Structure 1
């Protein structure tokens, strides 16, 4: 599965949409109240280089490995990149990159939801390289239902999000 590129017109349309939540960027620190939240982490298997893992992360491999269709304005994650994530034939979730982390021992990004996404909120994907060389991959999110379908899903929505996060965290298991 590869990343398809959005047309310039579609990318501009998505960039013009407002965020669907006011706490843009808060996946970096204190998670706001009033949302379903989680933070899960896994150590990457030994032998995977930090640069290779970061390259995989920043080229949408995590989302593609989890089974999502990725149609983005850029093949590589950059600030303000817009993306439509597809799951099955009927669900399309538009998002925009909120921030990108590019530090010597820390790389990652977060995207936030745009109108048309079934949820409201933000999700961050971050790789950290510790001094002992262990690389940790952390997924942090806060969200609440935005669509009738997401509201009707109730607890099943949380189970689906947990299953997707497990898929994300297994991306680097080779």
Structure 2
């Protein structure tokens, strides 16, 4: 699948087939995703790859019971490390750049998963403190997204999008 097709067909999926996804595919997706841009090439992120059922249960609980997290064979938690950005960019790096950088990494993961025929959901609704406890994160590290990855167990639905003319301002 080319990048345009991946962008066009990516949807948030909240049901997954019980079919397994080989670890090698997950590793390849993550390896490629590391090409995401980051301010000053700081790469202020950590990736927690979760397959353990008990940890997926705890993440599901931290996400308010979003059961589809447990259904997916793999769950990727993308974590920002603010001090890695702050060491070069100060407060702006700590409060903004590390979040932008992890968002770029997350987007790469979503589109690469689609490229491999897999589906995902960017989960941002969770108790950050609980997730930090589940993943045993060092102080200051912040989970930005929980991403279940697997084969869709529901049809991809197109959702209405605003037109470019509604949201873009061209300054020519």
Q: Which has the higher strand share?
A: 1
TM-score by length of 2: 0.33
Larger Rg: 2
Which structure is richer in relative contact order (CA contacts within 8 A, separation 6 or more)? 2
